[in-house]
Structure 1
Amino acid sequence: MSTCTRKIPIARPSLGEEEAEAARRAILSGWITQGPEVAAFEEEFASYVGAPHACAVSSCTTALHLALHALGVGPGDEVVTVSHSFIATANAVRYCGAVPVFVDIDPRTYNMDPGLVEGAITPRTRAIIPVHQMGIPCDMPAILEIASRRGLPVVEDAACAIGSEMLIDDRWERIGRPHGTISCFSFHPRKILTTGDGGMLTTADPELDRRFRLLRQHGMSVPDTVRHSASTVIFEEYPVVGFNYRMTDIQAAIGRVQLEKLPAMLARRRDLADRYTGILLGIDGLEPLALPAWARTNFQSNPVRVTPRFPLTRDAVIQALLDRGVSTRRGIMNAHQEPSYTGTGLWSLPHSEHARDQVLLLPLYDTMDPDDQAYILDQLRELAGRES
């Protein structure tokens, strides 16, 4: 049993007095459900990513579901996506009664391999969901070319990607403009920008944005903010079956503070990631992330592949680090390897499976102590010197 007293978490939300004061302000305002803070957060978020429209919801899972539902995805339809993602990506497809069709990833970027998308499209395909995994941008131009040619909408799962950028036509553009039809973000505590939980949809299509807003609030024809501010009596109607997918004003108030802090948080994370990469490149058997020249990640996570040249297996490294007080995580899961997806298809996804089994995620958060990072790197050097 380990006697190490050092405890380094895999992640830590960057929340402080400013967020506490923002939550207090919302609570004392008397309006704590979806209201003026949500509207302000939506406007500020849209401005940050460069999107015409942003709609706040209760999670990225509900954002993905709303996106597909609003696009008309339903029973018997297919959606091309990756298995190599948190289970919510595939689950959102199944919430619509549709079937996720999985393609493999590019082993360098851990994202959808665009060269496999065309072959996965059938007459039943209704959408494509690329995932900006761990904040690493997908090859969107290649995916969008296929989608445009085949007349398919693209829903970007940008759960991890706030602040990440792509080089498009010699210009850096933020994930979420969106480049596809819709982008979906998460504000879970493991994400860089957190509201405790919550999500956001961005789109350039005003009709889709209108539909998101209708569906997130039970299909209510008149939002309660309008009813409460009206000088005459207004009775709402429910023209469609909707959902209770709203964000609260307390969450949005916190999100607005987090958005202000985001540039500094991103800069700090990138500095830490650069230090990791510089040292890891000198440790035989460990492969840090190698970004393509057209991508800037936010380093939502810091993946390292443990190759057969390393004296320990990936799982043994995870345990050895835990014994030394360092929390890590395995590589991103694969939906097709989970019991809930057993029998849903005969998938050949070797790169996805290797990534799950060979990659570990090192601790990374903007308040990380440099001494803790140095300690982690020292432990990896020591493990690298072990006899196989």
Structure 2
Amino acid sequence: MNVPFFRVDASGNELRYVREVLESGWLTSGGRVLDFEAAFAEATGSKHAIAVNSCTAALHLACEAAGVGPGSEVLVPSVTFTATAEVVEYLGGLVRIADVDPITGLLTPAIVEAALDAHPEIACVIPVHLTGTACRMRGTSGSPGIIDVCEARGVKVVEDAAHAFPARHSDGTPVGSPVGSVACCFSFYANKTITTGEGGMVTTDDDAIASRIRRMRLHGIDRSAWDRHTRIGAAWEYDVVAPGYKYNLTDLAAAIGLAQLERSDASRDARRGIAARYHERLGNREEFALPAVESEADSHAWHLFVIRLRPESGLDRNDFAEELATLGIGTSVHYKPLHHMSVWKKLAEIPETGCPNADTWFEGCLSLPLFPSMTPAEVDAVAGAVETVCVRHRQPAG
């Protein structure tokens, strides 16, 4: 059986809502975007949700609104997609790369604290909620979270939650709700937990930040085209208050997002069930470690299911992936660390000791298929293929 790494599920109201937008005669940012923003704000417990055309745009706008600019130093984990660092470069800032926890691939409060102590000039930190697991943002007086560490030093935080809808923090609050960060940024790329094809969202409880992002997402114009279109009377007039960007989301994309959001709880439950089945089938394998089972308080989004090959297994990750491909199983790697990338070797500040934990993560990580429409037979086919490859390598040569 062939199982792709991902398959889009558009089995709900996607076609109906898109058809309604087409029939309305208004295709760009308008009423459907407003509806999508309101529904996403409610889902995340945030005061404001601002729709944009990618998570890269979301991060760019959030960092700009947070005051990142020429010369600003921003701490970014090495295990993330390059966009997390690129937005800092767009704004003229300096990317300072940090190592991660070798088990989760996440920034930890201790890693952030050590970096801020060593480099007090850091102005902003971008924690990445990798795979759908939330970083430890808030803690206690004896065990502070990332926000606590940053607040004590006057450092701003912008969350990269591209993988993390609808994850929850350890206190049960949704990722995207107010935890003390400037803003939280989500992705609706094709393979994310909900999709608009391409798209993103910024959540914040700060009125001034929200206002700045709304204006900057569409050329710095002080009034949206939808506002001008729906206003009675002389509605053409507008002003440009800053040199902004072309980052607005269309009503066509928002229509898809609304349909996806309606099924987000069911989709997450499906992902959780698939992860549980993987644990059931593969939990006793010695060759690799599985992602931790979520606690009752924590709520993993299960965007990705990442196994980590143990060095003592003797298995090479790339060979392992290629053998799975010959058995019809799609896989991926999340991610090649930033400090391995040519551009960041030139432009970023990398720790003198390197990022050994990120190296450990990268050398062993492999993402297995995980999407809501996976059938039990497909999940078992993936698990069976993984077991087959492991057994092959345990047999003596010849």
Residue 177 of structure 1: SS of its match in structure 2?
coil
**Aligned match for 1:378, one of 373, 380, 384:** 384
Q: Indicate yes or no: 2:127 matched with 1:130.
A: yes
Query: Post-superposition shift, 1:248?
Result: 0.1
Shift of 1:292: 6.3
Shift, 1:331, TM fit: 3.6
Cα contact 1:222–1:236 (8 A) shared by 2: yes
Q: Find the counterpart in structure 2 of residue 245 from structure 1.
A: 247
**1:198 and 2:202 aligned:** no
Q: Do the aligned partners of residues 220 and 147 (structure 1) sit closer, same or farther apart at CA in structure 2, a change above 3 Å counting?
A: same
> Who is 1:211 aligned against?
212
Offset at 1:330? 2.2
Structure 1 vs Structure 2: percent identity of aligned residues? 33
Where do 1:51-90 residues align within 5 Å?
Answer: 51-90=46-85
TM-fit CA distance, 1:65? 0.2
- 2:95–2:349: 8 Å Cα contact kept in structure 1? no
The question of whether the paired residues in 1 share the 8 Å contact of 2:136 and 2:170 is answered with no
Residue 363 of structure 2 aligns to which amino acid in structure 1?
D
Distance 1:331 1:226 in 2: 41
- 1:22 and 1:78 mapped to 2: Cα distance? 43
In structure 2, the partner of 1:345 is 349
Structure 1 residues 293-302 or 41-50, which shifts more?
293-302
AA at the equivalent of 2:311:
P
Distance (whole Å) between structure 1 residues aligned to residue 151 and residue 228 of structure 2:
41
User: Hey, what does 2:189 align to over in structure 1?
Assistant: 188
Correspondence for 2:175: 175
Partner Cα separation in structure 2 for residue 49 and residue 242 of structure 1? 27
Q: Residue 227 and residue 100 in structure 1: after superposition, are their counterparts in 2 closer, same or farther (change >3 A)? A: same
Cα shift at 1:177: 0.5
TM-score (normalised: structure 1):
0.95
The residue that corresponds to 1:3 in the other structure is none
Amino acid at match of 1:124: E
Work out the CA distance in 2 between the residues paired with 1:342 and 1:228.
Answer: 48
User: Which is strand-richer, 1 or 2?
Assistant: 1
Aligned 1:208-287 pairs, distance under 5 A: 208-234=209-235, 235-287=237-289
Which residue number in structure 2 is paired with residue 152 of structure 1? 155
Q: Which runs of 5+ in 2 are unaligned?
A: 139-144
SS in structure 1 opposite 2:104? Answer: coil
Where does residue 141 of structure 2 map in the other structure?
Answer: none
* Preserved contact between residue 331 and residue 357 of structure 1 (Cα < 8 Å): no
Deviation (angstroms), 1:35: 0.3
Quick one: which amino acid aligns to residue 174 of structure 1? P
What SS does the aligned partner of 1:89 have?
helix
Report the alpha carbon displacement of residue 152 of structure 1 after superposing the two structures with TM: 1.7
Give the Cα separation in 1 of the matches to 2:178 and 2:323: 41
In the alignment, the residues of structure 1 paired with residue 280 and residue 305 of structure 2 have an alpha-carbon distance, to the nearest angstrom, of: 13
- List alignment gaps of at least 5 residues for structure 1: 1-5
2:326 to 323, 328, 332: 323
The residue aligned with 1:336 is 339
Q: Is the 8 A contact 2:99 2:107 kept in 1?
A: yes
Query: Equivalent residue of 1:361, what SS?
Result: strand
How far apart are the structure 1 equivalents of 2:127 and 2:215?
25
1:304 and 1:77 map into 2 onto residues whose CA distance is 36
| Contact in 2 for aligned 1:108/1:290 (Cα 8 Å) | no
After superposition, the C-alpha distances for 1:179-202 in whole angstroms (9 at most, x for unaligned) are 222100000011010001100000
1:365 aligns to 2:371 (yes or no):
yes
Letter in 2 for 1:47: E
- Kindly indicate whether the alpha-carbon contact (under 8 Å) linking 1:76 and 1:124 is maintained by their aligned counterparts in 2: no
Quick check: 1:312–1:383 contact (8 Å CA) kept in 2? Answer: no
Alignment check: 8 A CA contact 1:157 1:185 kept: yes
Contact 1:217/1:244 (CA < 8 Å) preserved in 2? Answer: yes
**Would the aligned equivalents of 2:80 and 2:334 in 1 still touch at CA under 8 Å?**
no
Could you say what the CA RMSD is over the residues aligned between the two structures, in angstroms?
Answer: 1.4
Q: What is the CA–CA distance in structure 1 between the aligned matches of 2:334 and 2:34, rounded to whole Å?
A: 36
Question: After superposition, what is the alpha-carbon deviation per residue over 1:56-109, rounded to whole angstroms, capped at 9, x for unaligned?
Answer: 001000000000111121111101120110111011111111011111111222
Shifted more, 368-377 versus 198-207: the winner is 368-377
In 2, Cα distance between equivalents of 1:181 and 1:346: 25
Q: Is the 8 A contact 1:101 1:120 kept in 2?
A: no
Q: How many residues were matched structurally? A: 380
Does structure 2 retain, via aligned residues, the 8 Å contact 1:219–1:242? yes
Decide whether aligned partners of structure 1 residues 17 and 49 sit closer, same or farther in structure 2, where only a CA change above 3 A counts. Answer: closer
Instruction: Return the alpha-carbon distance in structure 1 between the equivalents of residues 150 and 362 of structure 2.
Output: 27
